[in-house]
């Protein structure tokens, strides 16, 4: 296991694509310290910014485990493109965590910045704090969002979680901001608490489950039925009853939006249309 400790409080953005189990593979401590990392517009060595320690098992093992301690809220792209191994972060972490990752696991005992798990294809990201905007979303200009894997957030999430999502599962145990599941093509988003609105805007397919309060459903969704329960992923079920809306009509969409009836009595006006 490799552990990293920041040498100082970071002021400028740190681009740390090198902090990745695939990169650390087959490298000893000295080689890891020599890895390149950017601080603002200056190129540095990893060892200049982080104290690297080897603990426990040998670094040559098949699945490398990296543990990072401290405030990394200005450190970006940790675990980007990783294919295996494990990263545990004890503290807050910056943007683009696990961007385009294909496998492995990232656990954060803190909050994360924007674009966490954006365009990820596989693996697991578990966040025990809050996540900022564009969780599992697409990069600017791209229409390919999260395409596999799982994201679990125990806190709240910002705007546009799961935008352009194509596959995978996102479980949010807190509240979310607007435009969750914007233009999603497939996959599942489960929101246990409240949702700010505009959920599922322009969605073409997929499933969004809101088990908390939702102020309003977009006018371009139409009510279809009331369901007793909804399946979340492969092995989980949310107990209802849920209003089931279909949309988005503007995109000829067949997306399913489930909203818990008990938490949303103001949506009972839709029942006259059933």
Partner 1 sequence: MPVVKAVPCPVCGSLCDDIELTIENGKIVKVKNGCAMCESKFLSHNSEHRILKPLIKRNGKLIEASFEEAAKKAAEILADANYPILYGWSSTNCEATRVGLELAEEIGGVIDNTAVICHGPSILSVQQVGIPSCTLGQIRHRADLVIYWGSNPWSSHPRHIERYTTFSEGRFQRSTWKRYLLKVKASIVRKKIESALRRVFFKKKPSTPRIGGLPPSMLREGRKLVVVDVRKTKSAEIADYFIQVEPCKDYELLQALRALIRDEEIDVDKVAGVPVENLEEVADLMIKCNFGILFFGVGLTMSEGKMRNIDAALSLVRDLNTRTKFAIMPMRGHFNVTGANTVFTWQTGYPYAVDFSLGYPRYNPGETSIMDILLNKESDATLVVASDPAANFPQKAVEHLVKNPLIVIDPHMNVTAQMADVIFPSAFVGIEESGTAYRMDHVPLPLKKVVNPPRDVLSDEEILRKILSEVRKLKEKKLVEVA
Q: Which residues bind partner 1 (CB under 8 A)?
A: 11-13, 15, 38-42, 74, 76, 95, 114-115, 133-134, 139-141, 143, 178-179, 182, 198, 201-202, 218-223, 248-250, 270, 273
- In the complex with partner 1, the residue whose CB is nearer, 134 or 190, is 134
Residue 274 burial (C-beta neighbours within 10 Å; 0-12, 13-18, 19+) = exposed
Task: Report the nearest approach of partner 1 to the CB of residue 77 (Å).
Answer: 11
Task: Report the nearest approach of partner 1 to the CB of residue 208 (Å).
Answer: 16
Residue 101 CA to residue 81 CA, distance in Å, equals 4
- Kind and range of the H or E run holding 88: strand 86-90
Return the residue matching tokens 């390919």: 144
Question: Would you state the structure tokens that stand for residue 272, as one six-digit string?
Answer: 């006259």
Task: Report the nearest approach of partner 1 to the CB of residue 84 (Å).
Answer: 26
Task: Report the nearest approach of partner 1 to the CB of residue 236 (Å).
Answer: 30
- In the complex with partner 1, the residue whose CB is nearer, 96 or 171, is 96
Task: Report the nearest approach of partner 1 to the CB of residue 143 (Å).
Answer: 7
Residue 177 CA to residue 184 CA, distance in Å, equals 16
Give all strands (DSSP E) within 105-206, no chain letters.
105-108, 124-127, 147-153, 167-172, 188-191
How far apart are the two ends of the chain, measured CA to CA in Å? 58
Q: How many other C-beta atoms lie within 10 A of the C-beta of residue 273?
A: 8
- In the complex with partner 1, the residue whose CB is nearer, 50 or 134, is 134
- In the complex with partner 1, the residue whose CB is nearer, 88 or 178, is 178
Q: Reply yes or no: is the peptide bond before residue 72 cis, omega within 30 of 0.
A: no
Question: Would you state the structure tokens that stand for residue 198, as one six-digit string?
Answer: 């505009």
Task: Report the nearest approach of partner 1 to the CB of residue 268 (Å).
Answer: 13
């Amino acid at each position: 296991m490799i552990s990293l400790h920041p040498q100082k409080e970071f002021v400028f953005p740190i681009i740390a694509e090198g902090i990745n189990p695939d990169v650390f593979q087959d490298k000893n401590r000295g080689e890891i310290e020599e890895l390149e990392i950017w601080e603002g517009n200056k190129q540095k060595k990893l060892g200049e910014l982080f104290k690297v320690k080897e603990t426990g098992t040998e670094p040559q093992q098949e699945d490398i485990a990296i543990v990072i301690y401290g405030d990394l809220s200005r450190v970006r792209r940790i675990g980007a493109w990783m294919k295996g191994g494990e990263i545990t972060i004890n503290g807050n972490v910056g943007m683009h965590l696990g961007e385009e990752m294909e496998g492995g696991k990232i656990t954060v005992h803190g909050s994360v910045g924007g674009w966490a798990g954006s365009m990820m294809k596989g693996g697991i990201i578990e966040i025990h704090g809050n996540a900022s905007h564009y969780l599992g979303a697409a990069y600017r200009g791209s229409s390919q969002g999260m395409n596999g894997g799982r994201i679990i957030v125990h806190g709240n999430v910002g705007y546009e979680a799961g935008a352009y999502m194509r596959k995978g599962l996102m479980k949010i145990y807190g509240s979310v901001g607007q435009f969750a599941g914007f233009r999603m093509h497939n996959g599942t988003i489960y929101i246990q608490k409240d949702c700010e609105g505009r959920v599922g805007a322009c969605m073409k397919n997929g499933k969004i489950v809101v088990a908390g309060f939702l102020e309003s459903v977009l006018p371009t969704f139409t009510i279809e039925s009331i369901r007793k329960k909804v399946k979340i992923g492969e092995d989980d079920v949310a107990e209802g009853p849920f209003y089931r809306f279909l949309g988005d009509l503007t995109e000829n969409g067949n997306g399913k939006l489930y909203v818990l009836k008990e938490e949303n009595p103001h949506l009972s006006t839709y029942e006259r249309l059933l």
